[in-house]
Chain A
Amino acid sequence: MNQIIVAFVTGLTTGGLSCLAVQGGLLASSLAHQLEQDVLNQPSARSKKYGHKVSQSRPQTALPIALFLGAKVVAYTLLGILLGFLGSVLTLNATLRAILFIAIGIFMVGNALRMLNVHPIFRYFVIEPPKFITRYIRRTAKSKGGSQTRPDWITPLFLGALTVLIPCGVTQAMMAVALATGDPLQGAAIMAAFALGASPVFFIVAYLTTQLGSRLEGLFMRFVALVVLILGLVSINNGLNLTGSPLSARNLSQTFFAPQQSSQASSTIPSSTLTLTVANNGYWPRRLYATAGEAVLMNAVTQETYSCARDLVIPALGIETLLPATGTVPIDIPPQPVGTVMRFSCSMGMYTGEIVFGQ
């Protein structure tokens, strides 16, 4: 249940904008026929920026956008069933997840830079639907346009369902979560919750951009691009955390801006028995000191902990373990040389910590 709520909140907060950045083209295509009908039926002018005809009155886009999103929710739910089933037969280990998060992050950063028109090379970060599908859609919409006042339901429904083929970065991260459930129903619930959560923001931003003039639309899309850029960098950072890389933002800042705060560490005297408190909002202390050259026992303690912090990953030891919601799990760490820094994180690379080995 917790995961479903997290999926919904993720969709609500970040999914809407991220999805719009990637799938906006499909949405625009699904609205194109509606917009062209508006141009034909109402007074029109030439877009100063792009030259093509635009309607002078507000286009009727609310319903096509709603249909588009409705189809998207259904398609994502079906995808969730498939992912949950696949997850029951495949396993995505921490390393693969790290690679996935970094790849997703690069995709999102590239897309954002494309939207900001930084360089034509970033156009290659766009995923376009196959030509035969867009050709079919175009001709279907055209053939149904015999009555110019009849709205086209098929195009937004079809293209909304097609969004499942071009998932945005945040969607891809949710897909990984759905896969990890190993259960079709759970997978479906997570993807449905995410798609539903993403819908309000997606709808509002998409609707407003069709109602605003081209100048405000440009500003809006730049804002969307900046949000996607930040999300992309966060995803890359999470992937780096998951590998225990010293290059993640937090690890870099600790390397260069050194001293740990008293809230971040308990004793700095190395010990061969450590206690790590695993809370819903992360690990405490974030830095532990262990004795080098001898075996160390770390007790991971949970107390009604339900967040992803429970899924503890220690890349250097190849450990990935799901801790109980309440309890103590002993983790044996073989002897490490002086100066070793062993990093650990949650399975999403969000919460992090490290063990420093000294004498």
Chain B
Amino acid sequence: MVKKIFRVDDMHCPNCTMRVESIEDDLPGIKQVSASYQKGQMLVEYDETQVSEAQIVAAVKARGYQAVMAVSS
């Protein structure tokens, strides 16, 4: 399991965090997503053997937001 932070700059309201966090229900291998409207980012804890960064970015994009990998924690 790894934890990585992705910048999600275009969350425009608190409801957006719920939309972004919903990727944890759809992508196997994601343990938890914690999005922050204030900071404009999300922390994703996931199993690298089951899901890739590209898949995470694509899932966020499907919900209408642009995610960019920031730093790993």
Which chain A residues have a beta carbon within 8 Å of chain B's beta carbons? 24-25, 28-29, 32, 47, 50-53, 120, 123-124, 126, 128, 131, 134-135, 138-139, 142
Asked if B31 is an interface residue, CB under 8 A from chain A, the answer is no
Beyond the given A29-B15, A52-B63, A120-B40, could you list 15 further A-B residue pairs with CB under 8 A, ordered by the A residue number? A25-B15, A28-B13, A32-B19, A50-B12, A51-B64, A52-B19, A123-B38, A124-B38, A126-B14, A128-B17, A134-B17, A134-B21, A138-B18, A138-B22, A138-B25
Contact of B37 among A28, A123, A135, A139 (CB under 8 A): A123
Q: How many angstroms from the CA of A120 to the CA of B25 in the assembled complex?
A: 29
Q: Which residue of A lies closest to B13 (CB)?
A: A25
User: Which B residues are in CB contact (< 8 Å) with A120?
Assistant: 40
> Total A-B residue pairs with C-beta atoms closer than 8 Å?
44
Q: How many angstroms from the CA of A145 to the CA of B34 in the assembled complex?
A: 23
Q: How many angstroms from the CA of A231 to the CA of B34 in the assembled complex?
A: 33
Sample 21 A-B pairs with CB under 8 A, ordered by A number: A24-B13, A25-B13, A25-B14, A28-B13, A29-B18, A32-B19, A47-B64, A50-B10, A50-B64, A51-B64, A51-B65, A123-B37, A126-B38, A128-B14, A128-B37, A131-B34, A134-B17, A138-B18, A138-B21, A138-B22, A138-B25
Interface positions of B from 4 to 63, Cβ below 8 Å from A: 10, 12-15, 17-19, 21-22, 25, 34, 37-38, 40, 61, 63
Q: Which residue of A lies closest to B39 (CB)?
A: A123
Interface residue range, chain B:
10 to 19
User: Which A residues are in CB contact (< 8 Å) with B64?
Assistant: 47, 50-53
Which chain B residues have a beta carbon within 8 Å of chain A's beta carbons? 10, 12-15, 17-19, 21-22, 25, 34, 37-38, 40, 61, 63-65
Q: Which residue of A lies closest to B9 (CB)?
A: A120
Q: How many angstroms from the CA of A142 to the CA of B24 in the assembled complex?
A: 13
Q: How many angstroms from the CA of A124 to the CA of B19 in the assembled complex?
A: 19
B40, B63, B64 — most chain A CB neighbours (10 Å): B64
Q: Which residue of A lies closest to B35 (CB)?
A: A131
User: Which A residues are in CB contact (< 8 Å) with B17?
Assistant: 128, 134
User: Which A residues are in CB contact (< 8 Å) with B15?
Assistant: 25, 28-29, 32
Q: Which residue of A lies closest to B22 (CB)?
A: A138
Chain B nearest Cβ from A33, distance in angstroms = 10
Contact of B21 among A47, A123, A135 (CB under 8 A): A135
User: Which B residues are in CB contact (< 8 Å) with A135?
Assistant: 21
Q: Which residue of A lies closest to B64 (CB)?
A: A52
Q: How many angstroms from the CA of A53 to the CA of B15 in the assembled complex?
A: 15
